[in-house]
Chain A
Amino acid sequence: GEDVEQSLFLSVREGDSSVINCTYTDSSSTYLYWYKQEPGAGLQLLTYIFSNMDMKQDQRLTVLLNKKDKHLSLRIADTQTGDSAIYFCAESRDTGNQFYFGTGTSLTVIP
């Protein structure tokens, strides 16, 4: 598969902003996603972005895409304890077919 890298751990205080970063190598990626996984559960889609977009905002979530550097980030504003989870970025070239997942970032929110 393609290489999709993330930092493993992030710790922030409640109320601060969290920024989770992801880098990928496949320049033909068309769709990029952020998924959230809570302990012992499956993955939940948080947001997505097309490769022809630079930024997308959805309530507390902001996704930034730097296609030139193949860098994707997820910013969570006003981070809450319920945001503690593992966050995966994923990229895909086809419509609904194989996804390549990042290594996952474990976010810990300190009260």
Chain B
Amino acid sequence: GAVVSQHPSRVICKSGTSVKIECRSLDFQATTMFWYRQFPKQSLMLMATSNEGSKATYEQGVEKDKFLINHASLTLSTLTVTSAHPEDSSFYICSVPKRAFPYEQYFGPGTRLTVT
């Protein structure tokens, strides 16, 4: 199956700093990528849809100025958590939708962000 990578896998940062997370689609080009957030023992919450060449679409309640998304190329989307606070500590996962049967999503391995 297709491979999606994320970098870094784990990051610890101080409160007030910004952190960039990369998501790469290694096997095929992706005009759309999804960013999810997962709290411990909870389900995935869709944060935003990253669109190549246009602005990201954010879900209700997600601050677009805090979670900056840039879909720089057909294989790369980045999520920047700006002015991070401890409550931003979470597991961030990206996915790439497959545009052919069975229309699944390929998930990255996730990035564990800890803000101290």
The 8 A CB mask of A93-111 against B (1 = contact, 0 = none) is: 0111111011110100000
Is A45 an interface residue when CB atoms closer than 8 A count as contact? yes
Q: Whole-angstrom distance from the CB of B3 to the nearest CB of chain A?
A: 11
A95-B99, A95-B103, A96-B98 as given contacts; A42 in contact with B49, CB under 8 Å: no
Q: Encode A50-92 as 1/0 by CB contact (under 8 A) with B.
A: 0000000000000000000000000000000000000010001
Task: State the Cβ distance, A33 to closest chain B Cβ, in Å.
Answer: 6
A98 to B44, CA, bound (A): 12
Cβ of A61 to closest chain B Cβ, rounded Å: 14
With known contacts A1-B46, A104-B42, A42–B107 Cβ distance under 8 A: yes
Contact with B43, one of A41, A45, A104 (Cβ below 8 angstroms) = A104
B residues within 8 A CB of A102?
43
Given contacts A95-B99, A98-B49, contact A48 B42 (CB under 8 A): no
Residues of chain A lying within 8 A (CB to CB) of residue B42: 103-104
- B44 cross-chain contacts in A, Cβ below 8 A: 43, 88, 101
Residue of B98, B99, B102 most packed against chain A (CB within 10 A): B102
Q: Are B43 and A92 in contact (CB under 8 A)?
A: no
- Given A40-B112, A43-B93, check contact A101 B107 (CB 8 Å): no
Q: In whole angstroms, what is the CA distance A51 to B6 when docked?
A: 32
Q: Residue B8 at the A interface, CB < 8 A?
A: no
The smallest C-beta distance from B110 to any residue of chain A, in angstroms, reads 5
Complexed CA–CA distance, A46 and B108 (Å): 15
Note all chain A residues with C-beta closer than 8 A to B108: 42
Question: Which B2-40 residues have C-beta < 8 A from chain A?
Answer: 4, 6, 32, 34
A8 CA to B42 CA, complexed, in Å: 9
State whether A42 touches B109 (Cβ < 8 A). Answer: yes
Neighbouring A residues of B105 by C-beta, 8 Å:
45, 96, 99
